[in-house]
Amino acid sequence: MKTKSKFLRELVKEANNLSIKKFDTTIKGGESDLVTSLDLEIEKFLIDEIKKQYPNFDIVSEEFNTNNKVTENCFIIDPIDGTINFANNLPLWGIQIACIENGKTVASVISLPRIDEFYYADETGAYLNDKKISVNEIPIKNALYAIDGNNNLPSMQRMRKYSSNRRNFGGVCISMAFVASGRLHGAVFRSNKPWDYEPGLFICKMAGASIKSINGFHAAAMNEEFLEILELETAKKQNISNIFVLHSLNGDTLKMWGQDVKEKFAQKEIDVIMPEFPIRAESRYEKFKEILEFYINNGDLNNNSIVVAHSIGNAYFIRFCKEFNYEPKAYIAVAPGAIYEYPSTRNDYTVEVKKQSYLKQDSFDYIKNISSKKYCLYSDEDDKNTEKFTRFLSDTNSEGMYLKYYNHFDGYHRIYRIPELIELINNLL
């Protein structure tokens, strides 16, 4: 039987051939992230081939198995790391896989087909195009490094006192590969998606790099001294709140006050996560649940999160809380009156174009009794809404907050900015 290292090398070389096909591009996620049809096709090919050879191993992958946790025996797959580069014909992207066996990474591959570089590592070392590679140590003042992830600008500024030689490539696979081959001297990934960092970390380790992997900080460096500096200046603070903005399922929130929240708190290195759910008739609860479950599983959505939901998004979030027995640090409902548009016996939780939904009483009972701080932000736009908001305050045991700056335009229910929301989140932090 082939070694896992040889199996992965042959498999990824086959996947390289798929990357030259024509592709379609669509938006995913709330950060204007892209996914192409080849992300999906390459990942499916890799999964199918792995399952034939290793049916008892689990799969953790970016597109089809995002909710799966890393286990004692699994393969971790990123079909195209650096999709935005790929979609724009920038050659800095890669296909990467790591294999974990008995709790330890034993083999990994990073293929950069457009620049004709093929990295891999196993117990014998790290290699580039079949030649052994190692890290390159230089004086820290001359070191080149990359910082990828969320809210990186403040940490980049802090690093300037050691070295201002920052390089960013739009793909963690590039940064890690370049550390392993001695071109960079440090690489940091400030997020927790294992398909982004695990293959590269192992290659760097086997190339002699010092590595560290903790929540919000996955890094490789030319030596321990530089790794300690990177951790000191770029690692995310532990046990601090993050902010989730859940849009109205009409798609507008993220482009309006949600973006304002992100910009305000990114300056403070507070992560603002804005999942993008399908909108209108496609806005099924099952998809909402699938997306938020991913954040629950990877630890981003936790008991220290501040969750802000808009309009009908509140109905979905309340139901999600009950099903997962979840309590955020604080729950802020913005204009939740749409929950009461049709208080009928329906129980399918489908959102149609007019954003209709209905919550069962047991969901209200759950959210009312949780220990989280709860707020309802509303306006006196009309008498009916005033009545709905009064009912919501009672149903959820939340504190009411009147909005002065509440606007309509283009025929849809939208809000430009909410200064009261910024002030409230500041106080909660």
Model confidence pLDDT, tens digit, residues 30-79: 455 677 778 888 899 999 999 999 999 999 988 888 767 889 999 999 99
Asked if residue 217 lies in contact with residue 235, where contact means CB atoms within 8 angstroms, the answer is yes
Say which range, 110-119, 121-130, 360-369, 385-394, has the weakest mean pLDDT: 385-394
- Other beta carbons within 10 Å of 297: 13
Burial class of residue 72 in the structure, from the number of CB atoms within 10 Å of its CB (0-12 exposed, 13-18 middle, 19+ buried)? exposed
Nearest Cα to Cα of residue 246 among 318, 188, 297: 318
- Hey, what amino acid is at 334? V
pLDDT score at 295: 85
pLDDT of residue 317: 93
Q: Shortest CA distance to 176 belongs to which of 193, 192, 199?
A: 199
At residue 413, the pLDDT reads: 46
> Is residue 374 within 8 Å of 392, Cβ to Cβ?
no
pLDDT of residue 357: 63
pTM for the structure as a whole = 0.74
Q: What number of other Cβ atoms are within 10 A of residue 363's Cβ? A: 22
Q: Nearest Cα to 417, choosing from 427, 402, 404, 429?
A: 404
**Structure-derived torsion over alpha carbons of residues 210, 214, 217, 219, reported in degrees to the nearest 10:** 20
End-to-end CA gap in the chain? 55
pLDDT digits (tens, 9 = 90+) for 379-390: 765 545 566 778
Token pair in block for residue 132? 């052994």
Tokens of 136: 């390159």
Banded model confidence at residue 109, pLDDT cuts 50, 70, 90: very high
Residue 350: its pLDDT value, please?
45
Q: How far is CA 352 from the centre of its chain?
A: 27
Backbone angles phi, psi at 272, to 5 degrees: -115, 115
φ, ψ for residue 274, nearest 5 deg: -125, 80
The alpha carbon of residue 80 and the mean position of all alpha carbons in its chain are separated, in whole angstroms, by: 15
> What does the pLDDT read at residue 342?
52
Residue 256, pLDDT above cutoff 80? no
- Rounded to an integer, what distance in angstroms lies between the CA atom of residue 422 and that of residue 329? 16
Confidence at residue 289, expressed as pLDDT on a 0 to 100 scale: 86
Of 135, 173, 161, the residue nearest 234 (C-alpha): 161
pLDDT band at 254 (very low <50, low <70, confident <90, very high): low
pLDDT tens digits along 153-179: 778 888 889 888 988 899 999 999 999
> Which residues lie closer than 8 Å to 404 by C-beta, 6 or more apart?
419, 420
Tokens representing 73 are 């025996």
Backbone angles phi, psi at 179, to 5 degrees: -65, -45
Work out the mean pLDDT of the chain and round it to a whole number. 84
Positions of E strands within 175-215:
186-190, 210-214
Rg of the chain, C-alpha, whole Å: 23
